[in-house]
Amino acid sequence: MSCIGVTVAGLWTSPEAPRAIDASALGNPALLEHWLAALDDDTRLALCKEKRLATQVLLDTPVEILERRRDSQGNDWCRVIVPSQPSSLDPRGYPGWIPAAQLAEGDGCLAVTEAVTVVTPVAWLQELPRGRSLKLSFLTRLRLAHPVAKDANRVWVESALGRGWLPRNCVHLPDERFPATAATLERLGRRFDGLRYLWAGNSSFGYDCSGLVHSLFAAIGIALPRDASDQIETGQSVESGERRPGDLLFFEKPDDEGRLVVDHVALYLGDDRMLHSPTNNARVECRRLGGSRYAEQLCAVRRYLSTPEAS
């Protein structure tokens, strides 16, 4: 079984899609924060406008390799699908290209139920082989190495990079779950207030709009498609006036050819408030819907929490 062998890997639209400025995000280790710091407003926007980056995938996430290719610089790439990110682009999972150096194989890659999940915005995986430590994203899942004592302050895990430990207060053990409620979604989402938007971002180093809601719902055990254009096809349709906390709001606007397309999604918090990752070079925010351009662009409401009591 193949899986992601770096903290956060980008899935690119082709092996030729990355630019020189993206080099630090392509290696192993992936220097994600260095890469993000180097991007200015224009180079961030180009990830979207030029359709370069497709999505991101977290350490140890299983992937299926479909094809291998060498780019013009002699670097090896793999076309993969990510089963944990449903997409209409491929019924098997989200498709994209990843540097072969960022993939791993081995026992740490097994998709198992006995997994430890990072539930804080970031957590440090420590005492890896060769004394390495890695900063992991929210929702990274790693295999539990051995049972955890009640008073333990460390949890030992197996990863594609070897054995290490995570702070006990940063993770959920296999039998621990967040309540599937609107209050949980809001509490988790508000921890990312001020986080800068990243096109195709699907980690706590930067989310796009659909990546944020995809991750928040995954945290409470509800699997959504990766992209807003697919998310709108799921859940229960709700009239705009009947929306309640925990619903998703979808927005549309004309594309370059003048056709209305769904291009944004937000989490409804109640009392006319929504939480979202707005657009390029903006930041995750909570704001009023009424009186905004979003109120004019609202096209659909979808519900995933089954009862009012679940909010």
Q: Tokens for 238? A: 């709700």
Angle, nearest 10°, between helix axes 209-219 and 182-190? 130
Q: Quick check: 124 and 167 in contact, CB under 8 A?
A: yes
Q: Does the bond joining 167 to the residue before it have cis omega, within 30 degrees of 0?
A: no
* Three-state secondary-structure class, residue 25: helix
- 205 contacts: CB under 8 Å, gap ≥ 6: 8, 32, 33, 36, 137, 198
Residue 260 and residue 210: Cα distance in Å, rounded?
18
DSSP per position, 250-287: EEEEE-TTS-EEEEEEEEEEETTEEEE--STT-B-EEE
CA angle centred on 37, ends 116 and 56, rounded to 5°: 40
Active site residues: 209, 264, 276
Residue 41 and residue 97: Cα distance in Å, rounded?
24
